[in-house]
Structure 1
Amino acid sequence: MPDEEMTPPRTGQTRRRGAALEEAILLAAADELAECGYPGLTMDRVAKRAGTNKNAIYRRWPDRLALGIAAYRKLARTIQPPDTGDLRDDVLELLRRANRHWSSPLGAVLRDLLTAAGSAQQLVAQLPEQSTDAMTAMWLTILGRAVARGEASPESLHPRVATVAIVLLRNEFVTRGAPTAPDEVLIEIVDEVYLPLVRRRAG
């Protein structure tokens, strides 16, 4: 039975199916996340906002967390790696961007989703900023440029090494529960951990 045949369309309303219905649900869920955060996200509210029924939602997303992650992807923007010509400046810029985002209302949604997902890495990986492949590629890009400039050791081009700085910053939010990280913490991560690590990797 098509998704919306159980809910007769209102007068003048076109019955939506397939991709059109999925997009309507995702947009409704994204609006709910932006307005109410993840704690306020419910299948009932999303269904009402999308003008559909909960069965149509559950056919696509098995629970509230899966829907929340899919909706967050609608809100998140793709970040391009900086290219200042200096490794320290590039790393600080990336950390400052992440810090501003995670300190924002949308960042609060992200933190709630991460907490709810826990150790379910298959769900965490669906979040744009947390995708292992995407995050690693960005950090390897800026580190690779630094290696080419002679600022870092070629041996540092390892995924775990490249992403150390962002993992340490994420711990400030996820593990310590900090609402934001002071800039001196970002500078400490860069100067005391990241740069010494990538420069001395060969030794």
Structure 2
Amino acid sequence: MSEQRRTEGTPTRRRGIALENALTDAAWEVLVEQGYHGFTYEAVAARAGTSKPVLYRRWSRREDLLVATLARHWRPLDLPDTGSLRRDALVLLRKVNTERARMVVLLHIQLADYFRETGTSFSDLRDRLRIADQQSPFAALVDRAVKRGELTETPRPERVVNLPFDLMRHDMLMAMGAVPDAAIVEIVDKVWLPLLGLHHHSTQEDL
């Protein structure tokens, strides 16, 4: 059905997951174009070619619709398993750099009103999008390194474990996009590994 033919309340044959996917796809388009300020039931319903009650039946709060929309478009990254904590961290950060940089910057800009309105942060939102009881990617990498004997089994602050993502996000926002690979190597070798009790003197061959 073309956008020209879509009107509020237009009946469709979509049901179940197909309908929810269509709704969250429309919601994503509205969010990208108009930000959280324009992320309204009216705008999403019009874009999806449906009625507001269809949205309200599934998501009674705008915040719930937002989280559902982001969950559909913020796909989890596959965790690398190279046998080395350093290589795992580099591979993961490089994936973030190539696959997530644009979205990270976009969400910070388009969700500025949401963060102000709710008093939350990007990190809080990221935690909400994570599957219940699922570890953060870097916590999983650290646990794996402990099991391999690369790291000692000792309590580590969550802030330290997740620091690579936070530093990457900061650099992305400063650069308004992807960051140089040298910055990724520096985050891992000069900041993160020493905090974990590991030291690596990188060479050109192992970058």
TM-score (norm 1): 0.69
**Equivalents in 1 of 2:132, 2:159: separation in Å?**
10
Match of 1:90 in 2: 88
Post-superposition offset of 1:172 = 2.2
Which digits, 9 at most, give the CA deviation of each residue in 1:14-69, with x for residues without a partner?
Answer: 5x7887765542232134456x3746755434212322223543562533x65333
Match of 2:203 in 1: none
* 1:115–1:49 Cα change, 3 Å: closer
**Equivalents in 2 of 1:149, 1:8: separation in Å?**
57
* 1:57–1:37 Cα change, 3 Å: same
* 1:102–1:134 Cα change, 3 Å: same
* 1:62–1:148 Cα change, 3 Å: closer
Match of 2:109 in 1: 112
User: What residue identity is the alignment partner of 1:46?
Assistant: V
Post-superposition offset of 1:75 = 1.7
Q: Which runs of 5+ in 1 are unaligned?
A: 1-6
Match of 1:180 in 2: 178
> Is the 1:139–1:163 Cα contact (8 Å) retained in structure 2?
yes
Secondary structure of the corresponding residue to residue 197 of structure 2: helix
User: What residue identity is the alignment partner of 1:111?
Assistant: H
Which digits, 9 at most, give the CA deviation of each residue in 1:67-95, with x for residues without a partner?
Answer: 33321211222222110011111111111
* 1:150–1:124 Cα change, 3 Å: closer
Post-superposition offset of 1:114 = 5.1
Aligned length: 184
**Equivalents in 1 of 2:22, 2:73: separation in Å?**
14
Q: Which runs of 5+ in 2 are unaligned?
A: 1-7, 199-207
Determine if the alignment matches structure 1 residue 168 to structure 2 residue 170.
no
**Equivalents in 1 of 2:111, 2:30: separation in Å?**
18
Listed as ranges, the matches of 1:1-203 within 5 Å are 10=11, 13=12, 22-33=20-31, 36=33, 38=35, 41-58=39-56, 60-63=59-62, 66-104=64-102, 106-112=103-109, 115-118=112-115, 119-120=119-120, 123-128=125-130, 134=134, 136=136, 138-155=137-154, 157-174=156-173, 176=174, 178-199=176-197
> Is the 2:9–2:51 Cα contact (8 Å) retained in structure 1?
no
> Is the 2:9–2:49 Cα contact (8 Å) retained in structure 1?
no
Post-superposition offset of 1:115 = 3.2
Match of 1:4 in 2: none
**Equivalents in 2 of 1:85, 1:45: separation in Å?**
48
**Equivalents in 1 of 2:20, 2:109: separation in Å?**
23
Post-superposition offset of 1:109 = 3.4
Matched-pair identity in %: 33
Post-superposition offset of 1:143 = 1.2
**Equivalents in 2 of 1:88, 1:78: separation in Å?**
20
**Equivalents in 1 of 2:97, 2:83: separation in Å?**
22
